[in-house]
Structure 1
Amino acid sequence: MKNILLVCNAGMSTSILVRNMQNAAKELGVDCHVEAKSLTAAKKDLSGVDVILLGPQVGFELKNVKEMAPSIPSAVIDMKDYGSMDGKKVLRTAYKLMKAAKAQA
């Protein structure tokens, strides 16, 4: 099971996206856990996280996240996908990041 962490300002704006990603995972037969946290909460505990996706509103923190967790693939969610709450596209983005990181290892 893969653990996907979505990071936003307060950890609340991504709750709809989390649900949509969980629904997409069921539809696609993907075994994963998707969770949303605020940036502050995420900084405290990243254990077990396989990929970090930042909401566009905290995209400016990407460099800090990469420095804090260099072994965890991370990226900013595409603004269009975030705005439309497209769980399937964001889920695919997460898996592409994990696959690319594994290929580089």
Structure 2
Amino acid sequence: MNALNIIFVVLIVLAFVAYFYFKTKQFRSSLPIAKKWYKSKAGVALAAFIVLFGLNSALLFPDTLTFVVVAVFLLVGIGTGFENYKRAKHYGQFVEEEYALNKK
């Protein structure tokens, strides 16, 4: 196993852990904008997982069919990641204000 593959595996695990973390935060939050913000951040982590998994697959199995599947993974992952990044950035503007308004 080469060093690049090990790096991809570590990044894949970190992306999965980030996804799980943000999904847990989403379910535990009671504020609507914060829920949407955490959902978007989880979507970015899931997109990173998809992209990294696709790139790692291309390294492990260099075949024509693998490259077609990797291209689909990259398109879906980058598109999903970009859209969720825009949503997270948008909702992030209002999260602090929402927390301040709902202090108990």
TM-score, normalised to structure 1, is 0.31
**Greater per-residue strand proportion:** 1
Structure with the larger helix share: 2
Select the structure of larger CA radius of gyration: 2
TM-score normalised over the length of structure 2:
0.32
